[in-house]
């Protein structure tokens, strides 16, 4: 079979550095530092205010609130890539798309996708959960997570077809998929988990237990 | 029986099917495949290990070949 290993869509983002293990680790470190730089001043300010004048406690609370809200906003941005879209009517197109998507998945994966709306896929970089408008990638060990925003260029496709498009691209070239998609978040899996709807948490919990595929 | 399937707004459309022994059916499917590529679709063959491979020519031996649209960062 005459195959092409690299995802063709990479040509459109030729300036991007290809995603690999080193890139992911660097992104995790930068993200942690970024959050620290934003939050630490508010924590220090809050403590300093109370030490200087205990009556300023309400003001220090506002400072602590800022330190709490900023990482929450980062996590919301990360979780949003797999939040369910507006409910689509049960159409014939969606049923047909669901059938094809089911053919692409194994039995357990198919059940999980139908229950949670997220299709699991074991990759070499981590375990992926593919949604309609992006994907989560749980790193080996299950503690760290990356989220990516991606879309199909054709509008009007049924939800399961959009998932199938992203799943196919991911299976063709995992690193290429991660490079083409827009990186949205890197950090602790618990930060994303608490922002997901209950049914999607189940998918994340399963993904955290699955080992990554051997390279 | 091999199948050529297009992912589209109808969910998916079965465009053609062929067997390795039926050269005429394969040629018809290959012609359709080329037309779809010219229309902006991308060919993806499902391999036995469930991985997928980008293909520019319709593979005779693949069980399932799908046509998908390009993806981009969201």
pLDDT per position as a tens digit, A6-40: 899 999 999 999 999 999 999 999 999 988 998 99
Domain ranges of chain B: 2-68
Q: What is the pLDDT of residue A67?
A: 92
Answer whether A1 sits within 8 Å of B45, measured CB to CB.
yes
Chain A hits for B9, CB-CB cut-off 8 Å, are 93, 154, 156-158, 161
With beta carbons less than 8 A apart as the criterion, state whether A35 and A71 touch: yes
Domain limits at A67? 21-215
Could you tell me which chain A residue has the CA closest to the CA of B42? A8
Q: Is B42 on the interface with A (CB under 8 A)?
A: yes
pLDDT per position as a tens digit, B12-62: 999 999 998 999 999 999 999 999 999 999 999 998 887 899 999 999 999
Q: Which two tokens stand for residue A142?
A: 């299950």
Q: What's the number of domains chain A is made of?
A: 1
Ordered per-residue pLDDT tens for chain A, 215 residues? 444 468 999 999 999 999 999 999 999 999 999 889 989 999 999 999 999 999 999 999 999 999 999 999 999 999 999 887 766 666 889 999 999 999 999 899 999 999 999 999 999 999 999 999 999 999 999 999 999 999 998 888 999 999 999 999 999 999 999 999 999 999 999 999 999 999 999 999 999 988 878 77
Q: What is the pLDDT of residue B29?
A: 96
Instruction: Tell me what the pLDDT averaged over chain B comes to.
Output: 93
In a domain? residue A5: no
Answer whether A133 sits within 8 Å of B69, measured CB to CB.
no
pTM of the model: 0.91
Interface of A with B in 74-133 (CB under 8 A): 81, 92-100, 103-104, 106, 133
Rounded to a whole number of angstroms, the distance from the CA of A27 to the nearest CA of chain B is: 17
In a domain? residue A163: yes
Rounded to a whole number of angstroms, the distance from the CA of B29 to the nearest CA of chain A is: 16
Report the run of H or E that residue B32 belongs to, with start and end: helix B23-38
Euclidean distance between CA atoms B19 and B2, whole angstroms? 6
């Amino acid at each position: 079979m005459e195959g092409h290993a690299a995802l063709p869509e990479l040509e459109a983002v030729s300036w991007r550095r290809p995603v690999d293990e080193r890139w992911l680790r660097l992104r995790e470190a930068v993200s942690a530092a970024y959050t620290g730089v934003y939050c630490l001043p508010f924590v220090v300010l809050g403590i300093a205010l109370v030490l200087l004048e205990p009556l300023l406690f309400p003001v220090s609370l506002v400072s602590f609130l800022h330190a709490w809200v900023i990482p929450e906003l980062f996590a919301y941005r990360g979780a949003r890539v797999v939040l369910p879209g507006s409910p689509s009517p049960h159409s014939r197109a969606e049923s047909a798309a669901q059938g094809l998507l089911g053919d692409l998945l194994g039995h357990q994966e198919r059940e999980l996708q139908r229950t949670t709306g997220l299709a699991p896929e074991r990759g070499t970089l981590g375990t992926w959960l593919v949604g309609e408008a992006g994907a989560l990638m749980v790193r080996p060990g299950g503690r760290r997570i990356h989220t990516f925003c991606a879309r199909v260029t054709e509008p009007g496709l049924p939800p399961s077809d959009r998932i199938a498009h992203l799943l196919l691209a991911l299976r063709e070239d995992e690193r290429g998929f991660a490079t083409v998609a827009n990186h949205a978040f890197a950090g602790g899996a618990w930060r994303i988990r608490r922002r997901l709807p209950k049914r999607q948490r189940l998918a994340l919990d399963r993904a955290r237990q699955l080992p990554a595929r051997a390279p | 029986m091999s199948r050529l399937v297009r992912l589209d707004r109808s969910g998916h459309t079965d465009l053609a099917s062929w067997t390795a022994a039926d050269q005429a059916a394969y040629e018809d499917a290959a012609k359709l495949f080329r037309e779809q590529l010219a229309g902006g679709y991308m060919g993806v063959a499902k391999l036995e290990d469930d991985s997928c491979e980008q293909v520019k020519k319709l593979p005779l031996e693949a069980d399932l070949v799908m046509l998908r649209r390009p993806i981009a960062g969201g």
